[in-house]
Amino acid sequence: MNSISITPSEFSEMEKNDAETIEKPKLSTVDSAVHSSESLKTVKTTDTQTVDKSRKNPYETMGEIWSMSFIRSLIIPIVGVFMFLGVWHIGASQVQTSLGTLPGPVQVWTQFNGLIQEHQQERAKETAFYERQDARNAKKLANNPDAVVKIRPYTGSPTFFDQIITSLITVMTGFILASLIAIPLGIICGMSAGLYAAINPLIQIFKPVSPLAWLPLVTIVVSAVVVTSDPYFPKAFIISAITVTLCCLWPTVINTTIGVSQIDNDLINVSKVLRLNWFTKVRKIVLPSAVPMIFGGLRLSLGIGWMVLIAAEMLAQNPGLGKFVWDEFQNGSSNSLGRIMVAVIVIGLIGYLLDKVMLILQKKVSWDKNAALR
Amino acid sequence: MKDEHLILTEVTIDFPTKNGPFRALDKVNLNIKKGEFVSLIGHSGCGKSTVLNIVAGLHQATEGGVILDGREVNEPGPERAVVFQHHSLLPWLTTYQNVELAVKQIFKGKKSKAEVKDWVEYNLELVHMSHALDKLPAEISGGMKQRVGIARALAMEPVVLLMDEPFGALDALTRAHLQDSLMEIQDNLGNTVIMITHDVDEAVLLSDRIVMMTNGPAATIGEILSVDLDKPRNRIELADDPQYNHYRSEVLRFLYERHALPEKAA
């Protein structure tokens, strides 16, 4: 096949029978073309296809262009995923571990459904618990209107989905905290070369520090400083969030600094001619012009924060996804490997979704609509 | 007093470089009357922009200084509004908002909300941009952006309007169109204007005086040509006017014979 561009029917031909030449029976070509056009929603004459391929412009119709992008954006990725699942399926069955064979996609899917069921059961138990409690209290009050009614919270163990929520809350807390520090710091660094020179070495030194190195420090400091036992802010949560903050500060600081220092000199001159005061200048000129760069930094930061969170939760025992993985690892049942794999995939998917959300936000606030954001 | 409007006295500027100070301008003396339209012309790198930036207050003269209406110029200010070469509109603000930012800043507490709105719209009307109030700079053409830049500068009610090659980046037709607009506006408002240009025709057509600068380093004023053509001027009528062509050839002679490109002179 020496054609440079591949039309859908050619593509399907290639897939089906690469070795066969053009002289193959017309009927089978029609057949394969019909198959492909079924899935790609393109209707075309199959005769010209077989007779002479080189003469035909591959982008003859809008439908073809559309179907090309359709192939590229959907079909090929799906093929890639299925190939991966296949390799995983075959490869996993070859690996024997102390907990049995490494689970393949099917077992992981079963585990995922198991986790959903557990979650539903736990919710049902919780509802039942509260119903019982309400009934008991109602009865008590009916007998004696002055009775002191106790309402106890349900204390069942958190399910996988509760842990996802905990992780999301923790990472967002750490990330927002980091942004609140990093953006102002970056703006100041970007506007003052002297301050940047002073802070830059610190950024460079702290940036590569692993969350695992921060964690013991943070744990000891938080344990010493936080003395309340407020149930809404458990220590494990604070430790995890602060570790996330420490690790995801840097990309935003660096990007904001670069964004601010790269402002068009003409715009700075405009602010000088208008005699804008410092605050107005930052608000009206510096910040908007650095917004695309700041958001680039925020996206990097959130990505790092999510990665760091899992490690932090493992060691700080914050009841999130990290703790889930750790507990399953310690548990070592026949289900554990499958459940950890579920967690790995869910962690990946959530990380991807977080990035997508940031991308949507970035597109919303960015004035440079021509910039290619991906 | 009327003669003492904008005075540049012995303006000299040195820029620090690795090999010691570099003298960009040497003893520039210029006296500009109120309402006068002055063009600065010269080859690239002859310090035209530096002169303008010193008057704007964006650069500080090493020696000498600038006095505007009896006050020394030390810092930028809206009474010396600048139209930059590359429009320098804020890309995230619409046409209207770009002008509004300047108006709000300069007439803080002096104009009511309605007056601000009227003034913004009035100035955009002056440059014929009323049809694109809600467009972002990226959505309008280069000529339109430059119009908005001029509207923003005019909205500051400047005593002196400083223009740094305002039409340099535009095509010939758009440029001619904007030159006509500028002549009309200056005729109505009577601002003092200092404009940098590379374009001989533009200089002769618009100016009362053309300041021709020698080549750097240590550039200074080589010659000043007074253009005594009646205003308003019409570019088509002037094309065959012997007086106009005389001025034109004067400037050309200065630029290409007496102060040829630095490489040739060396």
Please give the pLDDT value at position B84.
87
Q: Could you tell me the pLDDT band of residue A229, with boundaries at 50, 70 and 90?
A: low
- Chain A nearest-CA distance from B208, in A, is 26
Within an 8 Å CB–CB cutoff, is residue A28 touching chain B? no
Same domain, B114 and B173: no
B84 with A266: Cβ contact below 8 A: yes
CATH no. for residue B5? Answer: 3.40.50.300
Tell which A residues from 214 to 273 touch B, by Cβ distance under 8 Å. 264, 266-267, 269-270, 272-273
**In this complex, which of B56, B90, B156 lies closest to A267 when CB atoms are compared?**
B90
Which residues of chain A make contact with B88, given a CB cutoff of 8 A?
264, 266-267, 269-270
Q: Could you tell me the pLDDT band of residue B3, with boundaries at 50, 70 and 90?
A: low
Residue B51 placed within a domain:
yes
Same domain, B99 and B49: no
Within an 8 Å CB–CB cutoff, is residue A374 touching chain B? no
Same domain, B41 and B115: no
B106 with A272: Cβ contact below 8 A: no
Please give the pLDDT value at position A194.
92
B80, pLDDT greater than 70: yes
Residue B247 placed within a domain:
no
Tell me, what amino acid is at B71?
A: R
- Domain spans of chain A? 8-92, 160-365
What would the mean pLDDT of B224-246 be, rounded to a whole number?
87
**In this complex, which of B78, B86, B136 lies closest to A275 when CB atoms are compared?**
B78
What pTM value is reported for the model? Answer: 0.76
Within an 8 Å CB–CB cutoff, is residue B233 touching chain A? no
B104, B137, B157: which is the final residue of a domain? Answer: B157
B106 with A288: Cβ contact below 8 A: no
What would the mean pLDDT of A7-11 be, rounded to a whole number?
43
> In chain A, where does DSSP find H-type helix?
8-16, 26-40, 46-51, 62-70, 76-92, 105-143, 160-191, 193-206, 211-225, 235-261, 265-273, 278-281, 287-316, 321-331, 336-365
Within an 8 Å CB–CB cutoff, is residue A277 touching chain B? no
A267 with B78: Cβ contact below 8 A: no
Distance in angstroms (rounded) separating the CA atoms of residues A112 and A119: 11
What would the mean pLDDT of A225-248 be, rounded to a whole number?
84
ipTM: 0.85
Residue B127 placed within a domain:
yes
B90 with A266: Cβ contact below 8 A: no
Distance in angstroms (rounded) separating the CA atoms of residues B180 and B75: 31
Domain that holds residue B137: 89-157
Same domain, B123 and B233: no
Distance in angstroms (rounded) separating the CA atoms of residues A217 and B74: 53
**In this complex, which of A266, A367, A369 lies closest to B88 when CB atoms are compared?**
A266
Within an 8 Å CB–CB cutoff, is residue B218 touching chain A? no
Which residues of chain B make contact with A289, given a CB cutoff of 8 A?
90-92
Distance in angstroms (rounded) separating the CA atoms of residues A370 and B91: 12
Tell me the Ramachandran region of residue A57: left when phi exceeds 0, alpha when psi lies from -120 to 50, beta otherwise. beta
Please give the pLDDT value at position A371.
63
A53, pLDDT greater than 90: no
A141, pLDDT greater than 50: yes
- Where is pLDDT greater, at A224 or A348? A348
In the numeric block, the tokens 């009474």 are attached to B79
Which residues of chain B make contact with A275, given a CB cutoff of 8 A?
76-78, 105
A252, pLDDT greater than 50: yes
Which residues of chain A make contact with B76, given a CB cutoff of 8 A?
269, 272-273, 275
- CATH class of the A160-365 domain in this structure: mainly alpha
Tell which A residues from 175 to 204 touch B, by Cβ distance under 8 Å. none
Report for A45-54, A130-139, A179-188: range of highest mean pLDDT = A179-188
Same domain, B152 and B165: no
- Where is pLDDT greater, at A272 or A153? A272
**Least confident piece of the model among A52-66, A217-231, B16-30, B165-179:** A52-66
B142, B157, B172: which is the final residue of a domain? Answer: B157
Please give the pLDDT value at position A246.
94
Residue B15 placed within a domain:
yes
Same domain, B123 and B226: no
Which residues of chain A make contact with B101, given a CB cutoff of 8 A?
274, 284
What would the mean pLDDT of B167-180 be, rounded to a whole number?
85
Q: Could you tell me the pLDDT band of residue A74, with boundaries at 50, 70 and 90?
A: confident
What would the mean pLDDT of B50-55 be, rounded to a whole number?
91
Residue B108 placed within a domain:
yes
Domain count of chain B? 2
Tell which B residues from 136 to 165 touch A, by Cβ distance under 8 Å. 136, 138, 156
Within an 8 Å CB–CB cutoff, is residue B108 touching chain A? no
Same domain, B150 and B172: no
Residue B246 placed within a domain:
no
Within an 8 Å CB–CB cutoff, is residue A364 touching chain B? no
Residue B253 placed within a domain:
no
pLDDT digits (tens, 9 = 90+) for B116-157: 999 999 999 888 888 989 999 988 988 889 889 989 998 988
**Least confident piece of the model among A111-120, A144-153, A247-256, B191-200:** A144-153
pLDDT digits (tens, 9 = 90+) for A148-189: 877 888 887 888 898 999 999 999 999 999 999 999 999 999
A26, pLDDT greater than 60: no
Distance in angstroms (rounded) separating the CA atoms of residues B72 and B6: 10
What would the mean pLDDT of A293-318 be, rounded to a whole number?
92
Q: Could you tell me the pLDDT band of residue A321, with boundaries at 50, 70 and 90?
A: very high
**Beta-ladder partners of B66:** B8
Residue B256 placed within a domain:
no
Same domain, B1 and B58: yes
Within an 8 Å CB–CB cutoff, is residue A83 touching chain B? no
A59, pLDDT greater than 70: no
- Where is pLDDT greater, at A91 or A49? A91
- Where is pLDDT greater, at A47 or A355? A355
Task: Find out whether B17 and B24 touch, Cβ atoms under 8 Å.
Answer: no
Same domain, B1 and B75: yes
**Beta-ladder partners of B23:** B14
Please give the pLDDT value at position B9.
87
